[in-house]
Amino acid sequence: KNQVEQSPQSLIILEGKNCTLQCNYTVSPFSNLRWYKQDTGRGPVSLTIMTFSENTKSNGRYTATLDADTKQSSLHITASQLSDSASYICVVGHSGGYQKVTFGIGTKLQVIP
């Protein structure tokens, strides 16, 4: 069964600090991995997209890594800001068919002053 597990479930950090969110997946055949940011009461918005051949992708203060051999990804947030408070969702795409995706539950990040 295709699964995406994220850790931690929730995290509280001080403004200005760094943090790393984890994503482990058991998806086959793998196509791509995406990280989305979901603000409270809003729809998810894509941060990064990585295919099998990419192991790092940056978007400003967000850096995603992918290890396709161990089926792990991480999202590193540098110099956190209050606006980073949100849920971060890992989404893994399956190749073939109609491009199915499996969503993780998300990590809820709270940045406090």
Partner 1 sequence: NAGVTQTPKFQVLKTGQSMTLQCAQDMNHEYMSWYRQDPGMGLRLIHYSVGAGITDQGEVPNGYNVSRSTTEDFPLRLLSAAPSQTSVYFCASRFRGDTGELFFGEGSRLTVL
Binding residues for partner 1, rule CB under 8 A, total 26
- Whether the ω angle into residue 113 lies within 30 degrees of 0, i.e. cis, is no
Q: Which residue has the tokens 């597990």?
A: 5
Task: Choose one: 20-28, 44-52, 55-63, 71-79; the region binding partner 1 (CB under 8 A).
Answer: 44-52
Provide φ and ψ at 99, rounded to 5°. 65, 65
> 50 or 111: whose CB is closer to partner 1?
50
Q: Which residue has the tokens 């792990």?
A: 72
Residues making contact with partner 1 (CB under 8 A):
4, 31-32, 34, 36, 41-46, 49, 51, 89, 91, 93, 95, 98-106
